[in-house]
């Protein structure tokens, strides 16, 4: 019996279903595969970001902590005046505004050194002046801003007037931030000069310069902070930090 409509009319018979077009099937398959590839790529990218921004920090902090403990143990075992050990580290940088605790400082700024979660002083293209020699010059440093310890991640939290303290076996070198350059070319080596003229200085003095990449998560430009030495405090038997680190 033929099917009828609600009005009692005989419904038109349904024709035979047409098989899907082979071309349309191939397109659907390609879209499905492409979607799965995008999902897989997203997962891989997420894992890579997690590795770059988290796991490398964990590994670098462990390495830096181990090396820092070794340096402090060496200091305790040597009661005489301590010469700088440029192989394993020369001291520790303290910048309260960055909330990084003590940052081990080593010789050099190449990736292999900075990847260990430390700050490095420049040897090229401009040689840093170490504060321990008592001479005028610029103690210029670099560290990663993201990944591998990210010791200068919060460099943008530093303000003019903030303290920067460099700790050695025998002395605390207390600097005061006097100028900041939020963005400059990565090729601008003048910021590392013995007299950093871009900071407004015109005469030799005892300066410190912190540099790192900017904007965050890129290496397009450089962020620069300049400080000037205010005083040098002798380390006592208890290694009592200067007041700038106790406030």
Catalytic site residue from 129, 142, 164, 213: 213
Which DSSP string do the residues of 6-36 spell out, in sequence order? TTSPBPPPPPPPPPPPHHHHHHHHHHHHHHH
Q: Which three-class secondary structure state does DSSP give residue 212?
A: strand
213 is catalytic: yes
**DSSP category for residue 241:** P
Residues 6+ apart with CB under 8 A from 87: 107
What burial class does residue 31 get, using C-beta atoms within 10 Å of its C-beta: 0-12 exposed, 13-18 middle, 19+ buried? exposed
Contact assessment for residue 120 and residue 114, using Cβ atoms and an 8 Å cutoff: yes
Contact assessment for residue 150 and residue 167, using Cβ atoms and an 8 Å cutoff: no
What distance in Å separates the CA atoms of residue 208 and residue 206, rounded to the nearest whole number? 7
Question: What is the dihedral sign for C-alpha 39, 40, 42, 47?
Answer: positive
Beta 206-214 vs 137-142: how paired, if at all? Answer: parallel
Annotated active-site positions, please? 213
């Amino acid at each position: 019996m033929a099917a009828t409509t609600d009005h009692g009319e005989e419904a038109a018979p349904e024709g035979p279903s047409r098989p899907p077009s082979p071309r349309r099937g191939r397109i659907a398959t390609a879209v499905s595969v492409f979607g799965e590839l995008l999902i897989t790529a997203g997962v891989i990218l997420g894992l890579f970001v997690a590795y770059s921004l988290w796991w490398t920090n964990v590994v670098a902090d462990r390495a830096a902590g181990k090396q820092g403990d070794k340096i402090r143990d060496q200091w305790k075992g040597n009661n005489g005046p301590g010469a700088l050990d440029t192989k394993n580290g020369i001291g520790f940088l303290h910048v309260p505004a960055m909330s990084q605790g003590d940052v081990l400082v080593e010789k050099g700024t190449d990736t292999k050194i900075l990847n260990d979660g430390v700050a490095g002083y420049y040897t090229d293209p401009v040689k840093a002046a170490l504060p321990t020699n008592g001479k005028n010059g610029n103690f210029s440093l670099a560290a990663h801003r993201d990944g591998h310890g990210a010791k200068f991640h919060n460099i943008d939290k530093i303000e003019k007037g903030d303290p920067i303290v460099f700790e050695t076996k025998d002395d605390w070198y207390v600097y005061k931030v006097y100028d900041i350059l939020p963005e400059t070319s990565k090729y601008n080596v003048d910021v590392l000069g013995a007299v950093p003229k871009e900071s407004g200085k015109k005469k030799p003095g005892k300066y410190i310069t912190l540099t790192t990449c900017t904007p965050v998560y890129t290496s397009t430009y450089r962020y620069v902070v300049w400080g000037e030495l205010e005083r040098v405090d002798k380390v006592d038997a208890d290694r009592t930090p200067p007041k700038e680190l106790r406030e």
